[in-house]
Amino acid sequence: MVFASPERRSVVPVYHKAVQDWWAQQSLYQPDFSYHYLPQFAVLFMPFHLLSSPVGDLLWRFVSVGLLVSGLWRLSRQQFGSEAARAFLWSTLLVMPLTLGAQRNGQANVLFAALTLQAVACLSLRQWWAVAVFMVLSVAVKHLGLVLILLAVVVYSPLRWRVAVGIAVLAVLPFLFGSPAYVFGQYREFFEHIPVCATVIGHRFADLGGIVRTFGGELHGGASTLMRALAGGVVLGVWWFGARRWGDPLRAMWLHGLTTSYLMLFNPMTEANSYVIVAPAFGLWAVWAWGESRTHRVAGAWACLCLAAGIVAPLLRPVFGNELALFLRPAMTIVFIAMLIYFRWWIIAPTEAARARPA
């Protein structure tokens, strides 16, 4: 499809234009241009732009999807051991319907999801430099990656100075490809642009506000900002207390689930296709829950909900438009967070306590 019609249902032309604007030393943040990324993203996309369309467009998707799939496989192998192949199969079946739209459109969300998944897989193995690299690259792709970094360094102290070095290198990177005056100008425009474009107009996004708008309400400026800040504090607290006396890879998977769920619910620019970011957590935790005798029914119900959001909602789009996905996907994310908390305190914690008691 991409080879036959590279620009149809694709956001990749936006990325190509960003590189062209960079080389021409023009603003990346023009009023009529949908570029919502850091200046570093334009630099990182340059190799794909040089390959031109459709070769560069296809390679962009292959790299993104390849990293996503390999990250899912790595975590399946770490968590499920000899059952990794079976776990990978079932988690993939649950994940893919929620990701195909973003893959087809060539959205940066796919690469962002892949990098966060790779970071979490390295986190379980204590590969600190690899974790730092993947996390910093995720910030370059989408500045939302800062949330994962801020949560991870609270518990994983070896990451702190490594991530700081990585962020410093990332900040300097654009200066290697543009004049200082131009780069400083793009940084300034980015920090002016993001608050403006995050001002939601209309029922177009699938964050927590998408649920409210479905019923005719609205989350306004100050209240919305306060709600996101408070929710961030709650997630930090849950992560801090939940991560104590808990081993990897489940702890790293829990961090991934909390982080990606928070991003879906409290980023005011979350789209229906953005759920590629949290979809791997949906699939992996469903498979884990199925393997626990006390959560079979929960896993089955959750799998049905994932398939409904990934398959049924798109099929019903001619009837309901995109509003069903704008409501269903954030609603199921709320259910997912409740499941994670339930798993941590009522399933995993008692099991670990029993194992810790002497015979």
DSSP string, 212-241: HHHTT----HHHHHHHHHHHHHHHHHHHHH
Residue 158 has pLDDT above 70, yes or no: yes
How many helices and strands, by DSSP H and E, does the chain display? 19, 0
The residue to which tokens 């801090």 are assigned? 240
Residue 351 has pLDDT above 70, yes or no: no
pLDDT band at 224 (very low <50, low <70, confident <90, very high): confident
In the chain, where are the structural domains located? 12-352
Flag the least confident range among 92-106, 267-281, 319-333.
319-333
- pLDDT for the residue 353: 54
Average the pLDDT over 245-249 and give the result: 81
Does the CA dihedral 317-319-325-328 come out positive or negative?
negative
Degrees (nearest 5) of the Cα angle 268, 38, 148?
Answer: 60
Percent of residues in the chain assigned helix, strand, coil, to nearest 5: 75, 0, 25
- pLDDT for the residue 352: 60
Query: Rounded mean pLDDT of the chain?
Result: 91
pLDDT band at 171 (very low <50, low <70, confident <90, very high): very high
- pLDDT for the residue 359: 42
Predicted TM-score (pTM) above 0.75:
yes
Average the pLDDT over 222-234 and give the result: 88
Q: What is the CA radius of gyration of the chain?
A: 20
**Are 139 and 170 contacting, i.e. CB atoms less than 8 angstroms apart?**
yes
Residue 213 has pLDDT above 70, yes or no: yes
Residues in contact with 201: Cβ distance below 8 Å, sequence separation at least 6, in sequence order: none
